[in-house]
Amino acid sequence: DNNADDLLEERRKDIFLAEEVAEALSAWSRGEGRLTPDAMGYLLRSLFDRLRQQMALETDFLSRLSQGPRRRLH
């Protein structure tokens, strides 16, 4: 089960990776990139995969949240 703190930590990781991608793309556009096209593609795929996973986790979290507290049977 993911809680809000876990989701927030994952979002921080996503932001870090997005910043890394932005820096790499910026350097690449100036002709200063050190990454090969294959490495750049891998970096982009990594970001997109993380974002898709994060959206799925957040959707699940919000779905559970909207269901309200669950009652326990004794």
Q: Give domain limits for the chain.
A: 4-65
Q: Are 22 and 44 in contact (CB under 8 A)?
A: no
Question: pLDDT at position 70, please?
Answer: 66
Report the alpha-carbon distance of residue 2 to residue 10 in Å, rounded: 10
Kindly report, residue by residue over 15-38, the tens digit of the pLDDT: 999 999 999 999 999 999 888 999
Element (H, E) at 65: helix 37-66
Kindly report, residue by residue over 49-65, the tens digit of the pLDDT: 999 999 998 899 889 88
- The gap from C-alpha 67 to its chain's centroid, in whole angstroms, comes to 25
As given in the structure block, the two tokens for residue 58 are 């957040």
Question: pLDDT at position 15, please?
Answer: 94
Whether the predicted pLDDT of 48 surpasses 70: yes
Going from the C-alpha of 63 to that of each of 12, 29, 54, 57, 68, the distances in angstroms are 22, 41, 14, 10, 9
